[in-house]
Amino acid sequence: MSKSCFAGVDVGSLSTDVVILDDTGELLSSVVIPTGVNGAQAAETAFDQSLHEAGLDRENMAGITATGYGRASVAFATGKTTEISCHGIGAHHLFPNTGTVIDIGGQDSKVIQIDSQGRMLDFAMNDKCAAGTGRFLEVMADRLELDLNELSRPENIAGESASISSTCTVFAESEVISLLAKHTPLEQIVNGLQRSIVNRIWSMVTSIGIEGEVTLTGGVANNKGLVLLLEEKLGIHINVPENPQIVGALGAAQLARRHYTG
């Protein structure tokens, strides 16, 4: 086993993700756990689990880059950087022709333009409200008494759509309550919720444009219905990684590797 291994630790609002790579860039392990109330502890736990999965010890690590909103709490990191940079690098690693990254995270969403090396050129970000994020979907799923898998079923976007116009999670939830009181079919409400997220993303896309292939990252990329609606809205195919939730951590690990190799 190579001694020169590299880790990315992404401490997000909902989950903490760790990726470990060897010196060739091959994925050795990845771990995703809930962040909970203590980001520093979540980082330690996820990192230890990832080391165990890879059969490594901490002394095998040549570089560790922390990212995410809780990156400052990762005491064992050798470097720290923004998640915008990491999602660009991670998306480029998985899909080298990516020019535009759409990241839908737990508490914010971003559209990022990158160059041919995965470096950020421009971005637009929604961080003022949880509308259009993973947290938004969690709140709505709870209100509708559905799990997230049920909420993301493609068949829920096939028919009519209820109108959900609010850009605020609290007000959107009030709209959903009103629709339920009017006995609006559940699938129409789900359709409306998905389309409200797509419209939120669309407004950011139009502010900076689309270049190259589009890659979707973040846990919400597992929502198949939303991906179909977003492809319909943009009129193009969207790359979806096998595990979109770890793309930020993957990019952070790649940055650690790049820094080590110069």
| Bridge partner list, 110 | 103, 125
pLDDT tens figures, 101-131: 999 887 788 999 999 999 999 999 886 666 6
Query: What superfamily in CATH does domain 99-240 come from?
Result: ATPase, nucleotide binding domain (3.30.420.40)
Domain boundaries, the chain: 1-95+244-262, 99-240
The answer to whether the 1-95+244-262 and 99-240 domains have the same CATH topology is: yes
- Give the pTM: 0.90
Contact 230, 218 (CB under 8 A): no
Query: The tokens 């890659």 sit on which residue?
Result: 215
Query: Which one of 3.40.50.10470, 1.10.490.10, 3.30.420.40, 3.40.50.1860 gives the CATH number of domain 1-95+244-262?
Result: 3.30.420.40
Q: Which of 140-144, 175-179, 234-238 has the lowest mean pLDDT?
A: 140-144
CA 72 from chain center: how many Å?
19
| Bridge partner list, 217 | 103
Query: What pLDDT was estimated at residue 101?
Result: 98
Helix%, strand%, coil% for the chain, nearest 5: 45, 20, 30
Handedness of CA 68, 69, 73, 78 (dihedral sign): positive
Quickly count: other Cβ atoms within 10 Å of residue 158's Cβ: 11
User: Does residue 1 carry a pLDDT above 60?
Assistant: no
pLDDT tens figures, 174-204: 889 999 999 999 889 988 888 888 988 998 9
| Cα(181)–Cα(196) distance, integer angstroms | 20
Burial 44-82 (b: 16+ CB within 10 A, else e): bbbbebbbeebebeeebbbbbbbbbbbbebbeebbbbbb
Phi/psi region, residue 55 (left: phi>0; alpha: psi -120 to 50; beta: rest), is left
Single-letter amino acid, residue 251: G
Residue 38's contacts (CB-CB under 8 Å, 6 or more residues apart) are none
Query: What pLDDT was estimated at residue 132?
Result: 65
First-to-last C-alpha distance (Å) of the chain: 22
Query: What pLDDT was estimated at residue 140?
Result: 86
> Which one-letter DSSP state was computed for residue 227?
H
